Amino acid sequence: IFLLVAIKSACNNKNRRNAIRKTWGDERWVKSELGVNMRRVFLLGACPNENSQDKLASENAEHEDIIQWNFQDSFRNLTLKECLYLQWFSKSCREVPYIFKGDDDVFVNIKNIVIFLKELPENRRKNLFVGSVLNGSPRILNPASKYYVSYNLFPEKFYPAYVSGGGFVMSGAMAIRLFQASLQSRIIPIDDAFMGILVKKIGEYPQDDRGYKSWGMRKIDPCRLARIKTLHRMTPDQLIQAWSEYVKLDFTTCGKETADVLVTRTKLMFY
């Protein structure tokens, strides 16, 4: 396996999972079009009731791509899911060189990501952690906010630099290092900020790539799809529409800007 795609999902989000399976998460398409082996998994907590669990079991029997843990699937437990995933990867998939990690409402230009990884200089592969970097994000002090984190959990005013959790790429070696760091770290309920804390703890820095977008697209622009690596907050219908436009795209019609980007890729900021 060249690339492991791990997507955070929830029990009742079958439509989102199916949209990914039919589009950019189609392992057979990636193999035939890009020539690499990709493995897709969805990361879930517990289902709210027995009926939902039975439906999920049937879904997994068909697709064999669901990893589930027995904890309440909620926003405040996303960091727990992150830690359990890192543990699972470290034990079961530690030989996989690269991971894409994202949400189940994300569109991924998987071709651009594979090209980027294939062209990555050897000295930058081991500690790879790349996405849309946020700097200087403050710890939220309002207890009424879902982003609230107490002083006891994190005593600093600002989080270290971290990547938006909608979608990012890291090396397998980096994931193993982050898992080890997580064993000696106090969990905060903001998963992407927690990952930034772990990255800082092991002496690394996230790498910014403007191709990872934290927003979606009101009107599907095929040529823009050719330039990005991810789009966030997409409905299943939007994702399917975007993929349909993307796979039939004639890149020669997109103008010089797109052609240049496809040749030069997105430059990274390394620290």
For residue range 104-121, what is the model confidence (pLDDT) as tens digits? 999 999 999 999 999 999
pLDDT at 245 over 50: yes
DSSP state of 210: T
* Helix or strand (DSSP H, E) at 230: strand 230-231
Q: CB–CB of 216/224 below 8 Å? A: no
- Strand-pair category, 230-231 with 107-108: antiparallel
Residue 68 bridge partners (DSSP): 44
Q: Is residue 260 over pLDDT 60?
A: no
Q: Which domains does the chain possess? A: 3-134+164-264 (3.90.550.50)
Q: Are 197 and 160 in contact (CB under 8 A)?
A: yes
Whether the pLDDT of residue 72 is over 80: the answer is yes
Q: What is the pLDDT of residue 255?
A: 57
pLDDT of residue 267: 34
